[in-house]
Amino acid sequence: MINLVPPEIKQRKGLKSLVYVVTLAYIVVASVLVLGLAGLATYNYTQKIYLGSQQAELDRLAAEKNKDKTLLSQAAFIQDRVKNAATYKALYDWNAVLDAIAQSTPTNTRLTSIKISGDATKPPTVAISGESADRRSIILFKDKLALTKPFNGAGITSLTESSSETNETYTFSISALVSKK
């Protein structure tokens, strides 16, 4: 087979095909780079979302842990208070205390308040408030309480007189320490 095409045309044809090949290679390389960058950006975005959700989960778990710690400390506090109250209740016969107060109260004296205060380290104090028509019955009430079994002593903490046109009334407060069973 004889080639009748002049060599310049052959060279131009080879040059055109070389330009096409180089252009196609640049397009392929550019496409691969663009797709790679797009893939990298997508991967980076998905990782940010994943890390954000993981951070939110960690924050939620940390808050739950702190809540659990708070609940545990509150439960320990309540357990300690219940234990102290049970110990406190077991050490003293409160029915005997109330019976002694009832037995010692004079008939013309009206009690308005009985409060118990103290903690597990000290003996409790009973604060009794009331009213009476005369001072003598208040002093007798205090003396009777001081001599009664569950009490270690009693003292008048306040005594005030209020008078009206018809009668005089004395308001008092007596404090007494309670002894153990």
149 half-sphere exposure, CB direction, 13 A CA radius: 11
Alpha-carbon torsion angle 66, 68, 70, 71, nearest 10 = 170
173 half-sphere exposure, CB direction, 13 A CA radius: 10
How far apart are alpha carbons 102 and 94 in whole angstroms?
12
Which one is the CATH code of 93-178: 3.30.980.50, 3.40.50.150, 2.170.190.11, 3.60.20.30? Answer: 3.30.980.50
pLDDT at 38: 96
* Percent over 70 (pLDDT), the chain: 94
Question: Of the spans 14-23, 33-42, 79-88, 139-148, which averages the highest pLDDT?
Answer: 33-42
Residue 120 near residue 169 (C-beta atoms within 8 A): no
Which region among 30-44, 78-92, 119-133, 134-148 has the lowest average model confidence (pLDDT)? Answer: 78-92
Alpha helices in 92-134 (DSSP H): 94-104
Contacts of 152 (CB under 8 A, 6+ apart): 123, 176, 177, 178, 179
Q: Which comes out higher in pLDDT, residue 98 or 4?
A: 98
pLDDT at 131: 93
Average pLDDT, the chain: 87
Q: How confident is the model at residue 68 (pLDDT cuts 50, 70, 90)?
A: very high
pLDDT at 23: 92
Per-residue pLDDT, averaged over 142-165, amounts to: 87
Sign for the pseudo-dihedral over CA of 28, 33, 38, 39? positive
Q: How confident is the model at residue 2 (pLDDT cuts 50, 70, 90)?
A: confident
pLDDT at 173: 94
How far apart are alpha carbons 45 and 172 in whole angstroms?
79
pLDDT at 1: 64
What are the boundaries of each domain within the chain? 1-91, 93-178
Q: What is the pTM of this model?
A: 0.51
How far apart are alpha carbons 63 and 81 in whole angstroms?
27
How far apart are alpha carbons 126 and 97 in whole angstroms?
9
Q: pLDDT of 13-65, one tens digit each?
A: 767 788 888 899 999 999 999 999 999 999 999 999 999 999 999 999 999 99
Per-residue pLDDT, averaged over 164-168, amounts to: 81
Per-residue pLDDT, averaged over 89-111, amounts to: 84
pLDDT at 40: 96
